[in-house]
Structure 1
Amino acid sequence: MQMPFSKDRTPALASLLCLALVAGVAGCASKNPLMDDAPAQATARPAAAPSMAADGAQRTGPTGLRRFLGVLSPYRVDVQQGNFVSRETVDQLKEGMRSPDGVTREQVKFVLGTPLLADPFHADRWDYVFRLQKRNGEVLTSHVTAHFQGNKLVDIDGGNLPTEKEYLAMISGSAPGDTPSVRAK
């Protein structure tokens, strides 16, 4: 007794073979996310990573597929880590360093906030690291270091930091000089 379906197996086998071939080719073309591709990233970063200054705040935007498919991604929140230190606050501390009394650790903590890194091996150094990752993939980072001698601030490094207005413009995505117009009714 023969089965009625056993006569015509060639189209089913051909379609199964075609499906296996397509799956195999697609698997070869995909990139393993666990493998690090360091040389390609190193060459792609300088063109895709405009920065505000070499040693100040740095700003990088989304690249490649993430930039192209950004509208199809799920909602993401802005993630801010660390204390934002503006150019005005650093200037305020530098001005205080010129006074005869100087600036104490408590005053630095009042102006800049609690340091993100207070290394026990370098007790006379506080690091203020800031990172903001926006929902579109853009990343803003800055690093400010305060150096003390005893209880007095002797130096503060941070490079070319943005002002508070520039920082707010970066968050909102507008130009630094733009202010929202208010209509009177």
Structure 2
Amino acid sequence: MPKFITIIALLAISSLLGACSTLQFPGVYKITVEQGNVITQEMVDQLKPGMSKDQVEYIMGTPLIRDSFNAERWDYVYSIRRGDEVRKEYRMTIFFKADSLDYFTGDFIPTAITEQAEQSAETEAAADQTVKDS
């Protein structure tokens, strides 16, 4: 009888330890998990100050979070995890003033602003090079 109890105890302990294992089987397919509102650079590039809430909602979709205490703020959150990759999260917060788009913040910058920053950096670099050559 004691041998039977020992075998059952060992099986129970090995089952518990096996459940806590980080062992991964090769070739097992891991699905892509997307949650929230999909946010793309193209969507952000379409946003312009002065747009109505309906226009913003048409471009960005229904916000994930509408603050009931502040109707002038919409939050968009998008997270994605592909297979074994680390989960990535993107956020956008859009602020309205008198029911029209005032400004927005988040992980995306409009392409026009990025291009302007690159052009000004190139201009400064060229000006610095001209000063050094003189």
TM normalised by structure 1 equals 0.46
Q: Name the structure with the higher strand share.
A: 2
Q: What residue identity is the alignment partner of 1:119? A: D
Residue in structure 2 matched with residue 26 of structure 1 by the alignment: 14
For the residue of structure 1 that corresponds to 2:22, the secondary structure is helix
Q: 1:17 to 1:85 in 2, by over 3 A?
A: closer
Q: CA RMSD in A?
A: 3.3
User: What is the aligned length?
Assistant: 109
Distance 2:99 2:78 in 1: 24
Aligned with residue 84 of structure 1, among 38, 42, 64: 38
| Per-residue deviation, 1:123 | 0.6
Distance 1:160 1:23 in 2: 53
Aligned with residue 66 of structure 2, among 118, 121, 127: 118
For the residue of structure 1 that corresponds to 2:59, the secondary structure is helix
Q: What residue identity is the alignment partner of 1:84? A: V
Aligned with residue 55 of structure 2, among 107, 113, 118: 107
Q: 1:31 to 1:157 in 2, by over 3 A?
A: farther
Q: 1:31 to 1:77 in 2, by over 3 A?
A: closer
Q: Name the structure with the higher helix share.
A: 2
Identity of aligned residues (%): 28
TM normalised by structure 2 equals 0.60
Alpha-carbon contact 1:90-1:156 (below 8 Å) kept: no
Unaligned runs of 5+ in 1: 1-12, 34-63, 164-185
Q: 1:77 to 1:31 in 2, by over 3 A?
A: closer
Q: 1:70 to 1:119 in 2, by over 3 A?
A: farther
